[in-house]
Amino acid sequence: MTTSANKDKNIGFPLNIKSTIPKHRQELLKWNGWGYKDSQFVYQDGKVHFTGKRYPIGEQPLPHLIGYVTETMGVDLNIQSIERDPPKEFDYPEPNIPQNVFELLKSLEIPYSVKIMDRVTRAHGQTLNDVFILKNGQFKRIPDVVVWPESHDDVVKLVKFGNENNLVIIPYGGGTSVSGAVECPQDEDRPIISLDTSQMNRILWLDKENLVACCESGIIGQDLERELSKLGFTTGHEPDSYEFSSLGGWVATRASGMKKNTYGNIEDIVVHVKMVTPRGVLQKNCQAPRMSCGPDFNHVIMGSEGSLGVITEVIIKIRPLPACRKYGSLVFPDFESGIKCMREVAKQRCQPASIRLMDNDQFKLGMILKPAASYFGIILDGIKHFYITTIKGFNIDKMCVMTLLFEGQEKDVKISEQKIYSIGEMFGGVPAGEKNGERGYMLTFVIAYIRDLGLKYQIVAESFETSVPWDRAVTLVQNVKYLISRDCKNFGITHFVINSRVTQTYDAGCVIYFYLGFNYSNISDPVSVHHQLEEKARDEIIACGGSISHHHGVGKLRTKWYTDTVSRVGADLLVATKKELDPNNVFATNNFLTFSTKSKL
Amino acid sequence: MSAKKFEDLLEPRRRELSNYFYINRALNPQVAVQISPRPSPQSHQEAVLNSKKISELVTEISQKQNVKREEIVKQLRLILEEIGYKKNLQVIRYLGYLLTKIFLKVSTGVYVNHQGISQIKSQMGKCPVVFVPTHRSYADFIVFSYVMFAYDIEIPAIAAGMDFQGMMGMGEMLRNTGAFFMRRSYNDDSLYWSAFKEYVNQLVSKGDLPLEFFIEGTRSRSNKSIVPKYGLFNMILKSFFLSQVPDILFVPVNVSYDRILEESLFAFELLGIPKPKESTSGFFKSLTILKESFGNIYFNFGEPISTRSFFQHKSQHSFGSIHLHETSEEEKKLIPPLAYEIIRRQQLCTVVTYTNLISLILSKNLTRGQQYTGFEQLGVEIGMWKQILQSWGATIFEKDVGEAIRECLKVQQKLLHCDENGNIGLVTNKISVGKLNPSKLKAHVLSEDTISYSVPFIMLQLYANPILHYFVDAALIVIVLRSFGKMIKDELFKHYCTLRAIFSYEFVLLESWFKMRFEDALLKLKQEKIISLHQNGLYYDVFENKYFEEVLISSVQPFLLSYYVVTVVLETVSEMVDEKTILVNVQSVLENALRENKIFIHPYCLTLDTLGNCLMSLAKNNIVKKTRRNNINVYDVNREAVRKLKANLEIYIPAFHVIKSFDMFLHLKSKI
Ligand SMILES: Cc1cc2nc3c(=O)[nH]c(=O)nc-3n(C[C@H](O)[C@H](O)[C@H](O)COP(=O)(O)OP(=O)(O)OC[C@H]3O[C@@H](n4cnc5c(N)ncnc54)[C@H](O)[C@@H]3O)c2cc1C
């Protein structure tokens, strides 16, 4: 059974794609931070601006940012920390791989590299810890060799090779993991191979009848969308990292896209998936839309975080491109009213493609990133500042904004808009125009770049998220904020930010996304402090009825809560699955649980 | 610690020409939680009606009893009217004015540790804050609010008993300053209690006022701590356990008085003489008090206790509608240690006054048969105690000793007098109570002689009681050593524990803290040379500080005696016995002993408070089993256990016959 069965009938397929991201990623992307090299916040001649033209915010002065970072975050712009240079070959140990094994690897004729930059680039994801180490230190363990398989068959060979030679394989997609999942286990003494899927990025075939496409797992979001849109389709799967993250990564982490209301989360989009394990290939025999056939093993593959095998090919749903796409926004007098509105929208199941609610702090951050000179004038364009604050009596320090994205037929979008705005009105919401909505979504891509600026001026920051039943959402946010504020003080932190937004709605609850950053000029181990704060926050989240994670995954950062989350029996079940699929622990990621590294052969 | 720690609220009031401007000054009171829009008394009541819990209950009742929802909602509104607090700034200012005038007339000072209150004020705004003052007088309510008014903190929503409602005008006045009312009777009106619980839940989780409640549940008639009551405390904590609030700060506060408004009332009540109903006329009668002097009032605000830090671990309420959740059984088990901790901190905040020391010393001297204490001698002893207590970490309210004694004599002129030679003793007056109806009494029909003799002693003891917690553990150790002779530490600890457990209601303490208190007391005893170590540090024995030993033993003597007599009585009465019979018997045995007048017996041992504590402790230790029948307490006596306890206590009272038992004290006297 092969998923490339109908490739002959599919003219133009398999479609080879020239990825935006080069094979040696560091040529285009920052080696020690987020995103494109040419895109970053810089402070120059007393002004901050964002470089490049990739994002609408680029090349315009951002006059409000300086006041914010100096006052709210206590930054001294004259003190800039020095970041280390890219590592040289001698900075890390030689690849730990026996010569004979290395020869065998070469004989597979799969592209590989042992160059230091290739190895370091694949030693990490995008956690605060990762980036901090890149800028200031050194990883304890990096992959010994990077391989670029070009097809499912290459992967089959590699996995067999790894299994037979007592090696470790860590799948690497886009490297956007924020759970430590892609990092090397620190005390692994077997050779570690980083299996970079980026060169397996073809669209193998497309089935317009059934609206599915079969893709190789290394394809990254922006390439996939670009190519599909040329053909008049979209997957509609848009995690905020979709410029860089890969289809395989989405499946492996159970990713969630911004527009899941219309298109579904990855588990709704995946129809069929192939995973290469040391025991063979796990897959189903058809692309039927749903089956009653015992436990669905797609769900063993989804969320496996690289610890059971390599996902190679995925059949996903595609949709015709929407005729109309429209942004929108509403402002609410306070967070609670906003949540009530979201709850009502979810109750009526009339969510547009995306509906998000930013709290007051995020709302203000949005204003701060305005290029314009006047602070308020444009933020509330479409409606007048005067109207909101004076007539409606909103308090600038309480109000928050809901951003909306509608997709579909023009008339459906219109109806949907009307519906949402009338529900909004029920909860004191006031429409605040398309621009604000659009900006809100644009900013989610740009905000990821801010951390690099912060780290230059002694600010550490990271996000964490959760999902929670509706009736516990408000208190969860309130308690986490309280706790962080209190504990920041206990740690001696004087300047910090803790803000939140509701990013998704479900029938039974919602997703809450927190952003925590602080000035660490007087803190000796900021990453560990951040980690401790996050740990306390997560304890509280769980006590409040929230989950371990909605979409970031468990990785190595959240193992503490894994067993409690799934029960002892559940954890044992995972161990058993692992033993069955990967008895030698080739995929020794140490995600979820620490499986014994020394295999019982 | 010096008196500077305290700030007299009356000082500036005394200096100004008129208090009008002070009372009408602009206020910007600090709230407990910043919420906008601000909740109002009305919005809280509406929120209760709209809560999931209440609406489900209404549905249930309306279906079960086949009545319209509106009917039940109407009932609920009435209930909420009865419960709910109000805020009327006019009334607050008016009361503030009235109180300023009253204080200026009858008090010498209202002292507050300003640092404590500024500390808590600076922490307010982020999570619920609950003030937990000691409760020694009705005045607590209103004086507390006055202090809040003075420091510009929102006057708390105060949990008050319904008996205030009975006082015409008083109840509504208090309500307008923020009091909310809780029925006392143990009725099982589920509609009422559901509404009340939900109301409290609203105040904690959605309110912005601080809360205030008395964890002891009622005014302590004895002027010492009472074991915590959990009803309201549980309700308050629910919000925390359900994660409706991130934390709750409990602020222990010690409120004490140089002279308690109700002192004589309490003395009678303690003897079992019925207390006049707390009616408005009674209250206004107490306004004739305006001619008298009540000395100082002291407020000592302790460090806030963070519930979150105290519990460390928080359980989950992850399933089902959170609004229908209740505190789990597991969580309930966590509550007592926090309650006891609050009481412990209230005790730590005790402001030791010279009045307390004078009472302690006079009481000791009376016990040893010395009716009068010379002015000079008193001064010397006070000085000594001051030093010792200070070294134990107590907060002493310092003054010039001579002046303090004179002040005390003035304030306590109904109780103490000083003759021209400077000899200080109790005032004795013939008290006539008229004909008492035995069936209306709680206990024995004491003779007027007994009452007249006892009341001053009891009143005196009321002012020694607040500082007994500094002595009791040391006293028990000394008594054990005195009775058994030297012993090794482990054995000493065992005896201590047995006694301590029996007194765990009398001198509030959690069992898990025995060890700590024991070690602490040993250390103090060694420091003061009351006990010493023998034979290579193996054995403990009583040492040379006879004076100190005497104070210690006399401080717990009345309690020990009461408890012993209770066991004597329980051995003789029938196995199923009602509470009153026990009390009557105990009091009558003790009254006879008092009458014989052979040796000194402290009349405090007659007090129903102590006897009540004893019965609760016996029940807790499974020596009796308490049940309630037709509204009276009935005890099922475990004879064997009683005998054992009696034998145990007897060791400390070296003769089984009650009268002879006082040999111990003779014995003591002879040694001094
Ligand atoms: C700025 C930013 C925004 C983000 N926004 C979102 C969001 O909106 N929604 C969301 O869900 N996530 C989001 N993430 C998290 C991250 O992008 C996702 O977890 C993503 O799915 C990871 O994909 P990747 O290709 O980068 O995987 P990687 O980071 O390379 O790997 C992640 C894990 O998957 C495993 N893995 C990767 N490819 C394969 C494969 N082919 N076979 C088996 N295992 C594999 C790896 O071993 C690792 O354990 C965001 C991250 C960042 C930094």
CATH number at residue B243: 3.40.1130
pLDDT of residue B369: 81
Question: Across the interface, which of A471, A483, A539 has its CB nearest the CB of B246?
Answer: A483
- Going by CA atoms, what residue is nearest to atom 23 of ligand 1? A249
Do A337 and A392 fall into the same domain?
yes
Query: Which residues of A make up each annotated binding site for substrate?
Result: 451
Reported as a single tens digit per residue, the pLDDT across A7-32 is 456 788 999 999 999 999 999 999 99
B434 and B565 belong to one structural domain: yes
Chain A partners of B245 at a C-beta cutoff of 8 Å?
Answer: 475, 478-479
* Domain boundary residue, one of A260, A291, A320: A320
Considering only the beta carbons, identify the residue of A478, A485, A542 that sits closest to B316: A542
For residue A595, being part of any structural domain is answered with no
A567 touches chain B (CB under 8 A): no
Question: Do A220 and A243 meet the contact criterion of CB atoms below 8 Å apart?
Answer: yes
| Pairing status of strand A354-358 against strand B305-306 | unpaired
Relative to beta strand B373-374, strand B423-426 is antiparallel
- Ligand 1 centre to CA of A351 (Å) is 26
Q: How far apart are CA B271 and CA A258, in angstroms?
A: 75
**Domain coverage including residue B104:** 88-259+294-348
Chosen for mutation from A336, A398, A471 (greatest number of chain B CBs closer than 10 Å) is A471
Is the domain of B385 the same as that of B358?
yes
Is the separation of the CB atoms in B421 and B415 below 8 Å? no
pLDDT of residue B311: 94
Residues 321-380 of A with CB under 8 A from B: 334
- Does the bond joining B228 to the residue before it have cis omega, within 30 degrees of 0? no
A272: CB partners within 8 A, 6+ apart: A3, A214, A283, A284, A286, A287, A298, A314, A315
Closest to B56 measured CA to CA, from B182, B239, B191, B232: B191
Number of domains in chain B: 2
Question: Residue A476's closest chain B neighbor by CA?
Answer: B243
In angstroms, the CA B14 to CA B9 distance is: 9
Do B307 and B330 lie in one domain? The reply is yes
Show the tokens assigned to B479.
């008594």
Q: List, as ranges, residues 396-435 from A with C-beta within 8 Å of B.
A: 398
Encoding tokens for residue A221?
A: 């979001």
- Neighbouring residues of A115: CB distance < 8 A, sequence distance ≥ 6: A89
**CATH number of the domain that residue A262 is part of:** 3.30.465.10
Say yes or no: B303 and B445 in one domain: no
B442, B344: one domain: no
Task: Count Cα neighbours of A388 within 13 Å in the Cβ-side half-sphere.
Answer: 27
Report how far residue B184's alpha carbon sits from residue B160's, in angstroms, rounded to the nearest whole number: 10
Other C-beta atoms closer than 10 Å to the C-beta of B249 total 22
Name the token pair of B101: 């005038």
Question: Looking at the structure, do residues A206 and A310 belong to the same domain, yes or no?
Answer: yes
Q: Is residue A100 part of a domain?
A: no
Binding residues of A for FAD: 171-177, 253-256, 305-311
Confirm whether A356 is domain-assigned: yes
Q: Do A482 and B127 touch (CB under 8 A)?
A: yes
Query: CB neighbours (10 Å) of residue B201?
Result: 22
The number of C-alpha atoms within 13 Å of A330 and in the hemisphere containing its C-beta is 29
Which among A334, A471, A543 has CB closest to B321?
A471
User: To test the ligand 1 pocket, which listed residue (A19, A170, A176, A188) has its Cβ within 8 A of the most ligand atoms?
Assistant: A176
Question: If you average pLDDT over residues A526-547, what whole number do you get?
Answer: 97
Among B348, B373, B391, residue at a domain's last position: B348
Question: Looking at the structure, do residues A352 and A419 belong to the same domain, yes or no?
Answer: yes
DSSP B448-459: HHHHHHHHHHHH
Same-domain pairing of B185 and B238: yes
Asked if A278 contacts A309 with a C-beta cutoff of 8 angstroms, the reply is yes
Cα A205 to middle of ligand 1, angstroms:
24
B303 and B367 both lie in a single domain: no
Q: In this model, does residue A311 exceed pLDDT 50?
A: yes
Contact of A539 with chain B, judged by CB distance below 8 Å, is answered with yes
Chain A residues in contact with B314 by the CB 8 A cut-off are 539-540, 543
The closest CB to that of A482, out of B246, B315, B318, belongs to B246
CB-based contact A543 B316, cutoff 8 Å = yes
Nearest by Cα to A248 from A176, A178, A161: A176
Pick the last residue of a domain from B302, B318, B348.
B348
Which residues of chain B does A545 touch, with a Cβ-Cβ cutoff of 8 Å? 243, 316-318, 322
Query: How near does any CA of chain B get to the CA of A87, in Å?
Result: 44
Which of these three, A258, A288, A320, is where a domain ends?
A320
Check CB contact under 8 Å for A543 and B36: no
Under a CB-based contact definition with an 8 Å cutoff, are residues B242 and B322 in contact?
yes
The tokens describing B93, both together, are 């200012």
Contacts (Cβ under 8 Å, ≥6 apart) of A406: A324, A325, A326, A327, A328, A352, A353, A413, A416, A417
Q: Report d(CA A260, CA A236) in Å as an integer.
A: 8
Show which residues on chain B lie within 8 Å of chain A, measured between beta carbons. Answer: 36, 126-127, 243-247, 314-318, 321-323
Quick one: average pLDDT of A191-200?
A: 98
Selection from A113, A90, A96, A85 nearest residue A23 by Cα: A113
Report d(CA A599, CA A580) in Å as an integer: 12
Q: Are residues A270 and A350 in the same domain?
A: no
Chain A residues close to B246, C-beta within 8 Å: 478-479, 482-483, 540
Query: B356 with B340, same domain?
Result: no
Rounded to the nearest 5 degrees, what angle is found at the Cα of A382, between the Cα atoms of A379 and A385? Answer: 55
Residue at A530: amino acid letter: H
Please check whether residue A15 lies inside any domain of the structure: no
Q: Which domain holds residue A262?
A: 199-320
* Whole-angstrom distance, CA of residue B400 vs CA of residue B80: 52
Q: Is the bond preceding residue A14 a cis peptide, omega within 30 degrees?
A: yes
| Distance of alpha carbon B308 from alpha carbon B127, whole angstroms | 11
Same domain, B192 and B314: yes
Q: Specify if B527 maps to a domain.
A: no
Reported as a single tens digit per residue, the pLDDT across A241-274 is: 999 999 999 999 999 999 999 999 999 999 999 9
Say which residues have a Cβ less than 8 Å from residue B97's Cβ, sequence separation at least 6: B19, B20, B23
For chain B, list residues with pLDDT below 50.
1-3, 276-284, 655-662, 664-672
Nearest to B91 by CA among B25, B38, B23, B151: B23
Q: Determine the Cα–Cα distance for residues A339 and A470; give it in Å rounded to an integer.
A: 9
**Residues contacting residue B275 through CB under 8 Å, at least 6 positions apart:** B265, B268, B269
Cβ <8 Å between B243 and A539: no
Mean pLDDT within A407-429 = 97
Sole residue written with tokens 């934390």: B247
Whether residues A316 and A328 fall in one domain = no
Site to probe by mutation for ligand 1, drawn from A147, A245, A268, A450 as the one with most ligand atoms within 8 Å of Cβ, is: A245
Is B460 in the same domain as B604?
yes
The 8-class DSSP code of residue A81 comes to P
Number of H helices, E strands in chain B: 28, 20
Q: Are residues A292 and A203 in the same domain?
A: yes
- pLDDT of amino acid B654: 52
Query: From the CA of B371, how far away is ligand 1's center (Å)?
Result: 88
CA of A450 to the centre of ligand 1 (A): 20
Atom of ligand 1 nearest to the CA of A244: 26
Do A475 and B244 lie within an 8 Å CB cutoff?
A: yes
Return the beta strands (E) in B269-334 as ranges: 295-301, 305-306
A315 and A205 in a single domain? The answer is yes
In a mutational test of the B interface, the residue from A335, A479, A480, A481 whose CB has the highest number of chain B CBs within 10 Å is A479
B55, part of any domain: no
Same domain, A249 and A355: no
Q: How far is the CA of A463 from the centre of ligand 1 (A)?
A: 15
Structure confidence at residue B60 (pLDDT)? 94
Q: Answer with the one of A447, A470, A491 that is the final residue of a domain.
A: A447
What residue of B is the nearest CA neighbor of A542?
Answer: B316
Which of ligand 1's atoms lies nearest the C-alpha of A177? 29
Token readout for B40 is 């109002």
Same structural domain for residues A327 and A314? Answer: no
Round to whole Å and give the CA distance between A252 and A266: 10
Contact yes or no for A486 and B247 at CB 8 A: yes
Q: Is there a domain that residue B533 lies in?
A: no
Domain-located, residue A373 = yes
Predicted local confidence at residue B276, as pLDDT: 43
pLDDT at A373: 53
Q: Is A441 among the catalytic positions?
A: no
Asked if the Cβ–Cβ distance from B246 to A478 is below 8 Å, we say: yes
Based on the fold, state whether residues B149 and B204 are members of the same structural domain. yes
> CA-nearest residue of chain B to A470?
B321
Whether B9 is covered by a domain: the verdict is no
Cβ contact, residue pair B36, A540, below 8 Å? no
CA-nearest residue to B126 within chain A is: A482
Tens digits of residue pLDDT in A337-370: 999 999 999 999 999 999 999 999 998 888 888 8
Residue A548: pLDDT over 70: yes
Q: Given this model, what pLDDT does residue B658 score?
A: 31
A298 and A256 inside one domain: yes
Give distance in angstroms: CA of A311 to centre of ligand 1: 13
What values do phi and psi take at B634, rounded to 5? -120, 140
Closest by CA to B89, choosing from B24, B4, B186, is B24
- Same domain for A329 and A431, yes or no, is yes
Q: Is residue B159 a part of any domain in this protein?
A: yes
User: Could you tell me the CATH number of the domain that includes residue A407?
Assistant: 3.30.70.3450
CB neighbours of A318 closer than 8 A, spacing ≥ 6? A206, A211, A212, A213, A228, A233, A234, A235
In a domain, B534, yes or no: no
Flag whether A409 is in a domain: yes
Contacts of B534 (CB under 8 A, 6+ apart): B486, B540, B541
What would the mean pLDDT of A489-497 be, rounded to a whole number? Answer: 96
Is A260 a member of any domain? yes
Number of domains in chain A: 2
From A474, A460, A241, A434, select the one nearest B244 (Cα to Cα). Answer: A474
pLDDT tens readout for residues A109-149: 999 999 999 999 999 999 999 999 999 999 999 999 999 99
Pocket, ligand 1, Cβ cutoff 6 A: A 125-126, 170-178, 181-182, 197, 217, 239-241, 245-246, 248-250, 252-253, 255-256, 305-306, 310-311, 448, 551-553, 589, 591
| Residue A28 located in a structural domain | no
DSSP B189-211: -HHHHHHHHHHHHHHHHH--S-E
From A242, A263, A457, A513, the catalytic residue: A513
Question: Does any domain span residue B68?
Answer: no
Residues in chain B closer than 8 A to A485 (CB atoms): 126
Same domain, A353 and A397: yes
Q: State how beta strands B179-182 and B157-161 pair.
A: parallel
What's the pLDDT at B185?
64
Q: What is the distance in A from the centroid of ligand 1 to the CA of A569?
A: 27
CA atoms within 13 Å, Cβ hemisphere of B494: 7
When CB atoms are compared, the residue of B36, B127, B322 closest to A472 is B322
Specify whether the CB–CB gap between B239 and B402 falls below 8 A: no
Alpha-carbon distance of B235 to B218, in angstroms, equals 17
Which of the listed residues A21, A39, A241 should we mutate to test ligand 1's pocket, taking the one with most ligand atoms within 8 A of CB?
Answer: A241
Q: Is residue B180 part of a domain?
A: yes
Which chain A residues have a beta carbon less than 8 Å from that of B128?
Answer: none
Q: Is the domain of B178 the same as that of B299?
A: yes
Nearest atom in ligand 1 to the alpha carbon of residue A217 is: 41
Spell out the residues 6+ positions from residue A577 whose beta carbon is closer than 8 angstroms to its own: A300, A308
